[in-house]
Amino acid sequence: MRNEIKHHIGSLFLTIIVLVLFEVLTTAFFPALGIKNYRIPFNILIVLYLGFKVESPFIAIFILVLQYFHSFFSIEGWEMGTIAGIFICVIIGYLKELLHFSSAIITILVTQLFQVFWFLIMSAILYLKLGDFGTIVDKFWRFLPESIFISFCAPVFFVLMDRIWGVASKEGMLGEEV
């Protein structure tokens, strides 16, 4: 197992490139196509991948770096996403033995479940910060279609991330056994 940070720098750099490409896609091209109210949160999908599949004591640092790059494209602060991401990864760490991505459907459902946890954590932080529950309700109706889209992307995206991070997987593309 590669537990030194120098072994993860290349994978983290490639992941940042993937994140920036997806952020440019959602911030530049979606509005050009008339999709203005929705932004696909690929940063959440990357953090979930790190929690599910990457075994490293540096996960918190990786999340911080990813959320920092995500904040270049979003008004969402890097600190709130970092707190939510670390908290989610702690939950995943406790449940890791129960989580097996044996099929694309399971991957989609587990990803959706943890996105709901992410939303609840972010909503709690936002409520503490603003004291207004109305913005959370509005945010939920935008979150729902975005999270469903991300969940359906997860099986293919996890295969891409497996290659970037060099995670040996017993599953093939979309979760089929190899």
171 - beta bridge partners?
177
Is the Cβ–Cβ distance between 5 and 58 less than 8 Å? Answer: yes
The dihedral formed by the CA atoms of 155, 87, 137 and 71, expressed in degrees to the nearest 10: -80
Locate tokens 């911030």: which residue? 27
73 - beta bridge partners?
none
Q: For residue 106, what are the contacts with CB-CB under 8 A and spacing of at least 6? A: 100, 175
Could you read off the pLDDT tens digit of each residue along the chain, which spans 178 residues? 456 777 899 999 999 999 999 999 888 887 888 877 778 889 999 999 999 999 889 999 999 999 999 998 887 778 888 999 999 999 999 888 887 778 899 999 999 999 999 999 998 988 888 777 777 888 888 899 999 999 999 999 999 999 999 887 544 444 444 4
Distance, in Å, from the CA atom of 85 to the CA atom of 46, rounded to the nearest integer, reads: 10
Neighbour count for residue 25 (Cβ, 10 Å): 12
- The amino acid present at 61, given as its one-letter code, is I
Alpha helix stretches (DSSP H) within 40-170:
42-53, 59-70, 78-95, 104-130, 134-165
